[in-house]
Amino acid sequence: AKELLLTRQQGYQPLSQVMGSSIYHVGWQYTPNYPRMTLFYELETISNAHLHAAQLALGRLEQEASLLRAHGVIGVRLTARDYEWGSDLIEYTAIGTAIRLPNAPLHPRPFLSDLSGQEFWTLLQAGYYPAGIAVGYCIYCVSSGWHLDQQLRWNWSNQEITDYSQAVYTARHLAITRLEAAARSFNALGVV
């Protein structure tokens, strides 16, 4: 109720729930088997599958909003699922509420935002307007070599496994770099 009232206070009218979905086949990814040395690499086939499936779901959500002549979609929830019956399948679903500002010209494309009604209201009060949903993915692998296997199996003391820690930071950096590139494609001032 609060979200509806705050959104209406800005003059926007909710139109309908809109949805976009994509069930996507993840292709084969080569990975080295039992290397002597520890290897670090991105699983690019899988990263790209997640990115493309998310983009398809968001694009279909935007398409539904356009058909309703909406100015945008707020409260977008983007979820990913996989299936036991299809181990090489992923599904991305995007659901949100299409809104319109009466008597205002439509933009070429409706904006998409995961902001709630309250957050959307706050953003507008601060003089900003949502540009879109930016996503960045990275699936990263550490293929442990003989030395790391020995360290994990036969060492009984507490210690950081720096190879794994560094992999997390590398994957994070790649994902954030892609997120920033997506935000630039919207000519966004920032990401919230």
What pLDDT is attached to residue 114? 92
Q: What is the pTM of this model?
A: 0.85
State the pLDDT confidence band at 65, using cuts at 50, 70 and 90. Answer: very high
Helices marked H in the chain — which ranges? Answer: 2-9, 44-67, 117-125, 146-154, 162-185
Report yes or no: 128 and 188 within 8 Å, Cβ to Cβ: no
**Residue among 93, 186, 78, 181 at smallest CA distance from 132:** 186
Tokens of 56: 């398809």
Instruction: Give 110: exposed, middle or buried? Use CB within 10 Å, 0-12, 13-18, 19+.
Output: buried
Q: What is the C-alpha separation between 165 and 140, in angstroms, rounded?
A: 12
Mean pLDDT of the chain: 88
- Residue 115, Cβ neighbours under 10 Å: how many? 20
Report d(CA 22, CA 82) in Å as an integer: 12
Predicted confidence at residue 102, as pLDDT, reads 87
User: pLDDT for 5-25, tens place per residue?
Assistant: 667 777 888 899 999 999 999
Q: What is the pLDDT of residues 72-95, one digit of tens each?
A: 999 999 999 988 888 889 999 999
